[in-house]
Amino acid sequence: MTDNSSPIPLSKPYFPKELRRTIAADIDAILASGRLMNGPWAKRFEDAFAALTKREHAVSVNTCTTALQIALSYAGVSNKEVLVPAGSFVTDVSAVKFAGGRPVLVDMNPQTLALDLDSLESKLTSDTRAIIWVHLVGMIASDYRAILEFADRHDLFLIEDAAHAHGAEIDGLPAGSFGNASAFSFYPTKILTSGTGGMLTTDDPELARFAREMRVFGKDEGTGEIVHYGNDWFLDEIRACVGAHHMSVLGEQVTHRRALAEAYAAGLANQPGLRLLPIPTGCAPSWYQYPIFLMDDIDRAALITALKDKHGIEAKGIYKPTHEEQIFKELDDGTLKVTEDVLHRSLCLPMHANLSPAEIDGICRALVSELRRQVG
């Protein structure tokens, strides 16, 4: 793997030829029908998603960030505090701001990559109204019961951000089934994509109705009057068609990703310079990303460059800690040290269903050779 003319990408949407043909034919029929919104494809996608997440309701929207914002508005976070992981994608924080709330960053549990319970307790105030809980890289935290119990005990509205976790499970319970509301992303890098898009799942019929009204300008479903400050946030029929069809290969993709994760774990076990993520019994990640964690003596930037330039392999950190982003620096209260340590050490390797275990072996060999070079 020394040819870097077409590097192995970190992610690539999985659309086998037969599926592409079916989608193209159905999009042609949608365009011919003239019905581009609130049609059978959105319904089909939503029904499939409610079944996947074992929820009463699924409401399709234009992005995951919108689903988060709608859930936060419904929870009444305006002028209230919302506990958000410092180690996640920036729009978990932006969505709180859009809904008029005050984001408070919570530190990370390095074993689960999710909310640290001590940090959660320490950030709780009488103004706290909600929590956003993220399944980073597609792994549901093994201490999920304690997170659910914390939200329950303090009467907090719990929103699950399952943007990385299509098809992930813990103890047989699917991502998207926890808390008051869950949000999924169908952004192009995601395991399941509709081009782009989002889904809100919930068992609360009032929230489902609020979401359906918010996505069409805030229009009351019964009277047609504008009753909320809504927006043009629905998922059109073309993207809903792509997403509904993509669900047919979700199981296949997740199974394949799990096999690739096993190949990585086998190829990287006991190698110098890195630590692997422990996967507790009962936890079945979706493996949106495959992260490893580098030891102190490894220069991550140099490693990323060497992998790309010498081996044609893309790699990157999970995310920058949110409080290190220019616009969110004021959210740094000096307590987010584990998040900083874990994310600065993190390195995501290529993970998508177009890869084969043999390619993973090649990536492992290239990585190990570069790590050995650095540790001497």
Ligand X SMILES: Cc1ncc(COP(=O)(O)O)c(C=O)c1O
Q: Please report how close the Cβ of residue 68 comes to ligand X at its closest, in angstroms.
A: 7
DSSP category for residue 5 = S
- Tokens 């809504």 correspond to 230
CA distance 346 to 348: 7
**Between 315 and 371, CB nearer to ligand X:** 315
Angle at 85 between CA 338 and CA 292, to 5 degrees: 50
User: Which of 190, 211, 197, 170 is closest to 65 using CA atoms?
Assistant: 197
The residue from 11, 53, 65, 346 that contacts ligand X (CB under 6 A) is: 65
Q: Please report how close the Cβ of residue 317 comes to ligand X at its closest, in angstroms.
A: 13
CA distance 104 to 107: 10
Sites for ligand X among residues 181-210 (CB under 6 A): 185, 187, 198
Regarding 63 and contact with ligand X (CB under 6 A), the answer is yes
Q: Please report how close the Cβ of residue 182 comes to ligand X at its closest, in angstroms.
A: 11
CA distance 314 to 167: 25
Binding mask 146-175 for ligand X (x = CB under 6 A): ---------------x-xx-----------
With H, G, I as helix, E, B as strand and everything else as coil, classify residue 322.
helix
**Region of 60-68, 104-112, 246-254, 268-276 interacting with ligand X (CB under 6 A):** 60-68
Neighbours of 30 (CB within 10 A): 18
What spatial distance separates the first Cα and last Cα of the chain, rounded to whole Å? 22
**Between 14 and 367, CB nearer to ligand X:** 14
Q: Please report how close the Cβ of residue 298 comes to ligand X at its closest, in angstroms.
A: 25
Q: Largest alpha-carbon pair distance within the chain?
A: 72
**Between 53 and 91, CB nearer to ligand X:** 91
Q: Please report how close the Cβ of residue 184 comes to ligand X at its closest, in angstroms.
A: 8
CA distance 305 to 325: 22
**Region of 18-26, 61-69, 242-250, 301-309 interacting with ligand X (CB under 6 A):** 61-69
Positions that interact with ligand X (CB under 6 A):
63-65, 88-89, 91-92, 134, 161, 163-164, 185, 187, 198
